């Protein structure tokens, strides 16, 4: 998914999407860093990246 974000919107889009995904996971799914990262955090980041890709494709007309 990250490679596709980079392809559609370049390094700037990928970087921005990563920041948003990390921010969202940290805000809604606190984790103290001990043990494995909870799957809900991993999933939330993937969801944000997916939404950003969907939005970018819509804005550019690039349907993949």
* Ordered per-residue pLDDT tens for the chain, 64 residues: 999 999 999 999 999 999 999 999 999 999 999 999 999 999 999 999 999 999 999 876 666 5
pLDDT of 35 reads 97
Whole-angstrom CA distances from 49 to 26, 32, 35, 39, 62 are 15, 23, 24, 15, 16
Cα maximum dimension of the chain:
42
Looking at 1-64, which runs of residues are DSSP E strands? Answer: none
Domain ranges of the chain: 2-30+40-59
Whole-angstrom CA distances from 30 to 10, 15, 17 are 30, 22, 19
pLDDT of 62 reads 67
pLDDT of 17 reads 98
pLDDT of 60 reads 66
């Amino acid at each position: 998914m990250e490679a596709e974000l980079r392809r559609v919107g370049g390094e700037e889009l990928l970087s921005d999407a990563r920041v948003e995904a990390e921010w969202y996971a940290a805000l809604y799914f606190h984790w103290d860093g001990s043990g494995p990262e909870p799957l809900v955090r991993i999933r939330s980041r993937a969801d944000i990246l997916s939404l950003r890709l969907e939005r970018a494709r819509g804005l550019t007309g690039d349907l993949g």
